[in-house]
Amino acid sequence: MKKTIIEARNLYKEFDKTAVVKHINFTIAENEFVTFLGPSGCGKTTILRMIAGFEMPTSGEIFLYDKVINDIPAYLRPLNTVFQNYALFPHMNVFENIAFPMRLKKQDKNSIGKKVAQLLDVVNLGGYEQRDVSSLSGGQQQRVAIARALANDPKVLLLDEPLSALDLKMRKEMQVELKKIQQEIKKTFIYVTHDQEEALTLSDKIIVLNHGQIQQSGTPTDIYNEPVNTFVADFIGESNIIDGSMTKDFEVEFLGKKFICVDEKPDQQTNRVIVVIRPEDIEIGQRQEHTINGVVTSIVFKGVHYEIMVQCNDYDFMVHTTDYHEIGKDVGLDFGPDDIHIMKAG
Amino acid sequence: MNKNMRVLGLPYVAWMLIFICLPIVLLGVYSFTNNTGNFSLENFKSFFTPIYIQILLNSLYLAFISTVICFILGYPVAYIIAKIPSEKTRNTFLLLFILPMWMNFLLRTYSWMTLLGNNGLINTLLQALSLPQLNLLYNSGAVLLGMVYNFLPFMIYPIYSILIKIDANYAIAAGDLGANPRQTFMKITFPLSIPGVITGITMVFMPAVSTFVIPSLLGGGQNMLIGNLIEQQLMQAGNWHFGSAASLIMMTIILIAMQVMNRFDKTQQKNMEMLA
Amino acid sequence: MKKALRNVYLYIMLLFLYAPILVLMVYSFNASKSRGQWGGFTLEWYRRLFMDSNIQSALYYTVLVAILATIISTIVGTISSIGIFLYGNRVQKLMLNVNYIPVINPDIVTGVSMMILFAFMSMRQGFATMLIAHITFCIPYVILSVLPKLRQMDVNLIEAAMDLGARPMQIITKVVLAEIKPGIVTGLLFAFTLSIDDFVISFFTTGSGVSNLSIYVYSMAKRGISPEINALSTLMILTVTLLLFVINKRNNKKTKITGERI
């Protein structure tokens, strides 16, 4: 069991009487890469800013190891932030930006010089010391921001949507780079993003948020394969969400057909359930006795697979498949027991 | 930097209270008291008598006429400069037209004395051509000329600033939709430039109403405007109470005029936003 | 043809704006005291100007007041801007509205009301009162130049500095001042030009033999024109033009401000 470095207990924050973070609890272990994932306005950035010390919690505690840090000002917290827009000081060059925290601590020149060179190596920007920050590309600025945030040897690095200002290709590159840096320097990274793909790629642990509440936390695999509710299912990856009913465990009925599933009946009060099926888990083919039948209404090539919309009476299924099915074709959809996720009806 | 550092603003708050707010309050107190320090409306009563009303109206009239002339002369200047294609030429012309804004206003007024005086340049030239001399200085015309001359750049600059910001595509679109250049100007460019015109009007009208230097130097005392009245009451007659009342009345008129202009500007801005 | 007409109009207007000033300058070198005639080139009026102790004293006060008012209003204005910036919307708006009063109020009202204030405080009018008045009308322009720079500043820069270990005071000295420097310099130049150029407010707030160049020119001009005043005017105009040239050179490199003043 890894040691907990950051913990939130009953953390609550409101702005102008509007609750943004609603009594949440979480723990983050040492050297973990943890991502807060959620749509804009879900409170993820506020949580990060409370950890950094830019916002005071309205109530609840934040712990660093076993010490409450609520009242410690940002400049005394051993945590550093990489800002969404990098926030590099425009009146300083690359060297001075990275040296800034060390200069504040009045470290001697030699060790500052050595440390800056070492940090630039970590972020693959060796030799850029004297460059003007405005002359750097977005990706390079990002690296400088990371190097600067690491200059104080923080216990935790906080990253607020650090890749959102980059173009797609750069973003992919930086994802790999970030993961590499994290493994190399062995520090806790707390990452905030609304991009589920980024979260799945980078994280050891994902905390999914919506409306200031934690929806689910777990490994990327857990979250993707076993979403606990329709919000998570819908937000992470694409999902077909259908009303269904269960009269007994391990059997669900929806759109007039019965299927075997691996879940027990979630709620004894009602037979109503919600069925979630990932588009790539659907088998599309000939109509058969047990399949749900429909007609192809559109097909779009997505690079690796086709995205096919199939109209089945009153529900439109999204299907991802490598097979081509022309518009207007009659098809049948089939689902394996593992591919059907059952959730309590809201 | 945090909220505690708001205290940095406090010394200036004290300064503002003493040197900005208190003077205005005292001006009000002086206006509503008489020489014995008792509350009285007599300053206002004596102001609203024909002789002072005439001065006030004359000030408003000259300020109004000079504003109109500045607009008529200044708008084309701003428009022509804004249409110069080369940025360098455009900036040079703009600089030439706004440079006088920064030259001492007193000196600019004074410079007309050398031209208009009885043995100034114009009359000397007339004399040389054996033409009769003219009384150019010390009349309303000279005051008006002084106002237009001094405040013209204040009309040109704000109009230019707006014109240069108007997206050229509006005019192109209008032309594309069948408007001729005249229609494009009347229906697109001019309406969009109205905020600049309003700033220009404010920036000309306000100093024109309150000036006492121009009438004093070019009007020669016969043409008393409200600015002169205030100056005279405070510096010569020693009647501070009456002078304060006159200042207060002038300030009120200017504030009302600005409010009216602002309101006009706001509805105009709404129209602009809808257009944009 | 149309283009030519436009150019002609521009040049006529420029002639209108500059002819009086040029004539004034030319006359300052005219040996003949009667203004119409050209009596040959002379520097006599400039010589007399530099001998005139009244003018020397006026020049001294003009420059001294301008320098002191500029330094004080730049420092106070910058510090106050930071304070004002940190206030919430409503308080900030109120403070800015009051700050705006000297900018929109006609100079004569500012002058007269300060004159009354000094009488109320039993301050004898002279150098000190004139300096106070200049500081009062200069600070608002410094604030109006600095505050926009503070607002444009990326708030993340402040947070980044804080995050990296800078204490509140260090944030100001190491990050904020560097970020708003262009605004401070603009405000400083504004203050200096306004102070050195001011007539109306100085006229009402000075006394006991202290006058600046503008007041001196006014009192002379009221008696009619004199060649010495022409010479003095020429020097003042050239100085301001030179100053503006420097400002403009600087602005061309950075953001362009051409400044609105009344």
**Distances B237 to B46, B59, B241, C210 between C-alpha atoms, Å:** 15, 20, 11, 21
**What counts of helices (H) and strands (E) characterise chain B?**
14, 0
**Residue C261 — very low, low, confident or very high, per pLDDT cuts 50/70/90?**
very low
Whether residue C64 is found in the same domain as residue C10? no
R_g of chain C, CA atoms, integer Å: 22
- The pLDDT assigned to B266 comes to 67
Do the domain assignments include residue C214? yes
Neighbours of C235 (CB within 10 A): 17
What ipTM is given for this predicted complex? 0.87
> pLDDT for A166-225, tens place per residue?
888 888 888 998 999 999 889 999 999 999 989 999 999 999 999 999 999 999 999 988
Which chains sit next to A, with 3 or more Cβ pairs under 8 A? C
**Residue C237 — very low, low, confident or very high, per pLDDT cuts 50/70/90?**
confident
Whether A105 sits inside 8 A of C165 (CB atoms) is: yes
Q: Which residues from A are below 8 Å from C181, CB to CB?
A: 91
Do the domain assignments include residue C199? yes
- The pLDDT assigned to A264 comes to 87
Residue C262 has pLDDT above 50, yes or no: no
Q: Which residues from C are below 8 Å from B24, CB to CB?
A: 101, 113
Whether B114 sits inside 8 A of C10 (CB atoms) is: no
Q: Are B129 and B159 in contact (CB under 8 A)?
A: no
Whether C229 sits inside 8 A of B227 (CB atoms) is: no
- The pLDDT assigned to C255 comes to 43
Which of A79, A81, A84, A148 to probe the C interface (max C CBs under 10 A)?
A81
Count of B-C CB contacts under 8 Å: 243
Neighbours of B159 (CB within 10 A): 27
Do the domain assignments include residue C48? no
- The pLDDT assigned to C74 comes to 97
Whether C233 sits inside 8 A of B19 (CB atoms) is: no
**Residue A60 — very low, low, confident or very high, per pLDDT cuts 50/70/90?**
very high
State how far the Cα of A241 lies from the Cα of A225, in Å rounded to an integer.
Answer: 15
CA A171 to chain centre: 14
Whether residue C64 is found in the same domain as residue C111? yes
Nearest to A254 by CA among A206, A291, A204, A224: A291
Do the domain assignments include residue C49? no
Q: Which residues from C are below 8 Å from A78, CB to CB?
A: none
C14 closest CB neighbour out of B15, B24, B96: B96
Nearest to A339 by CA among A291, A278, A286: A278
Residue A217 falls in which region: left (phi positive, over 0), alpha (psi -120 to 50) or beta: beta
Whether residue C164 is found in the same domain as residue C256? no
Do the domain assignments include residue B94? yes
Chain C CA closest to residue B216: C222
Residue B263 has pLDDT above 90, yes or no: no
Residue A116 has pLDDT above 60, yes or no: yes
Q: Which residues from C are below 8 Å from B110, CB to CB?
A: 24, 217, 221, 225, 229, 233
Q: Which domain holds residue B220?
A: 50-275
Q: Which of residues 163-182 of C touch A (CB under 8 A)?
A: 163-167, 170, 174-175, 178-179, 181
Q: Which residues from C are below 8 Å from A75, CB to CB?
A: 162-167
Do the domain assignments include residue B222? yes
Do the domain assignments include residue C143? yes
Whether A75 sits inside 8 A of C159 (CB atoms) is: no
Q: Is C254 in CB contact (< 8 Å) with chain A? A: no
> pLDDT for B193-214, tens place per residue?
998 999 999 999 999 999 999 9
Distance from CA of A300 to the nearest CA of C (A): 42
Q: Looking at residue C170, which CATH number applies to its domain?
A: 1.10.3720.10
Do the domain assignments include residue B10? no
Q: Looking at residue B173, which CATH number applies to its domain?
A: 1.10.3720.10
* Mean pLDDT for the stretch of residues B75-81: 95
Whether residue C238 is found in the same domain as residue C109? no
* Mean pLDDT for the stretch of residues A49-65: 94
Neighbours of B177 (CB within 10 A): 9
Whether residue C127 is found in the same domain as residue C147? yes
* Mean pLDDT for the stretch of residues C133-155: 94
Q: How many domains does chain C have?
A: 2
- The pLDDT assigned to B219 comes to 87
* Mean pLDDT for the stretch of residues B268-275: 55
Strand order in the sheet with A67-68: A18-29, A4-15, A59-64, A67-68
SS3 B39: strand
Whether residue C104 is found in the same domain as residue C152? yes
Residue C120 has pLDDT above 50, yes or no: yes
Do the domain assignments include residue C5? yes
Q: Are A2 and A31 in contact (CB under 8 A)?
A: yes
- The pLDDT assigned to A50 comes to 95
Do the domain assignments include residue B27? no
Q: Which domain holds residue C210?
A: 54-225
> pLDDT for A100-111, tens place per residue?
999 998 999 999
Whether residue C78 is found in the same domain as residue C114? yes
Whether residue C146 is found in the same domain as residue C36? no
Do the domain assignments include residue C142? yes
Do the domain assignments include residue B192? yes
**Residue B113 — very low, low, confident or very high, per pLDDT cuts 50/70/90?**
confident
Do the domain assignments include residue C47? no
Q: What is the DSSP string of chain C?
A: -HHHHHHHHHHHHHHHHHHHHHHHHHHTTBS-SSSSS---B--HHHHHHHH-HHHHHHHHHHHHHHHHHHHHHHHHHHHHHHHHHHS-HHHHHHHHHHHHHHHHS-HHHHHHHHHHHHHHTTPPPSHHHHHHHHHHHHHHHHHHHHHHHHHHS-HHHHHHHHHTT--HHHIIIIIIHHHHHHHHHHHHHHHHHHHHH--HHHHHH--TT---HHHHHHHHHTT---HHHHHHHHHHHHHHHHHHHHHHHHHHHS--------
Chain C CA closest to residue A82: C160
- The pLDDT assigned to C252 comes to 60
Distance from CA of A209 to the nearest CA of C (A): 24
What's the 3-state SS for chain A? CCCEEEEEEEEEEEECCEEEEEEEEEEEECCCEEEEECCCCCCHHHHHHHHHCCCCCCEEEEEECCEECCCCCHHHCCEEEECCCCCCCCCCEHHHHHHHHHHHCCCCHHHHHHHHHHHHHHCCCCCCCCCEHHHCCHHHHHHHHHHHHHCCCCCEEEEECCCCCCCHHHHHHHHHHHHHHHHHHCCEEEEEECCHHHHHHHCCEEEEEECCEEEEEECHHHHHHCCCCHHHHHHCCCCEEEEEEEEECCEEEECCEEEECCCCCCCCCCCEEEEEECHHHCEEECCCCCCEEEEEEEEEECCCCEEEEEEECCEEEEEEECCCCCCCCEEEEECCHHHCEEEECC
Whether C113 sits inside 8 A of B8 (CB atoms) is: no
Q: Is C124 in CB contact (< 8 Å) with chain A? A: no
**For the purposes of burial, counting CB atoms within 10 Å of the CB of C34, is it exposed (0-12), middle (13-18) or buried (19 or more)?**
exposed
Q: Which two tokens stand for residue A3?
A: 């040691």
State how far the Cα of B106 lies from the Cα of A75, in Å rounded to an integer.
Answer: 54
Which of B15, B16, B20, B199 to probe the C interface (max C CBs under 10 A)?
B20
Q: Which residues from A are below 8 Å from C161, CB to CB?
A: 89, 100
Whether B240 sits inside 8 A of C116 (CB atoms) is: yes
- The pLDDT assigned to C260 comes to 38
Chain C CA closest to residue A149: C164
Q: Which residues from B are below 8 Å from C101, CB to CB?
A: 20-21, 24
Distance from CA of B273 to the nearest CA of C (A): 23
Whether A83 sits inside 8 A of C159 (CB atoms) is: yes
* Mean pLDDT for the stretch of residues B244-272: 81
> pLDDT for C85-116, tens place per residue?
999 889 999 999 999 999 889 999 999 999 99
Whether residue C3 is found in the same domain as residue C81? no
**Residue A321 — very low, low, confident or very high, per pLDDT cuts 50/70/90?**
very high
pLDDT top residue among C247 and A269 = A269
Residue B271 has pLDDT above 60, yes or no: no
> pLDDT for A2-27, tens place per residue?
899 999 999 999 999 999 999 999 99
- The pLDDT assigned to A99 comes to 94
Nearest to A35 by CA among A211, A231, A179, A229: A179
Q: Is the Cα dihedral B6, B8, B9, B14 positive or negative?
A: positive
Q: How many domains does chain B have?
A: 1
Do the domain assignments include residue B8? no
Mean pLDDT, chain A, integer? 92
% of chain B residues with pLDDT over 70? 95
Q: Which two tokens stand for residue B190?
A: 């001019």
Q: Which of residues 154-213 of C touch B (CB under 8 A)?
A: 158, 162, 168, 171-172, 176, 193, 197, 199-200, 204
Which of C113, C170, C217, C228 to probe the B interface (max B CBs under 10 A)?
C113
Chain B CA closest to residue C238: B103
Which of A100, A144, A150 to probe the C interface (max C CBs under 10 A)?
A100
pLDDT top residue among A101 and A314 = A101
Mean pLDDT, chain C, integer? 88
Distance from CA of C105 to the nearest CA of B (A): 7
Residues 6+ positions from A170 with CB-CB distance below 8 Å? A137, A138, A139, A163
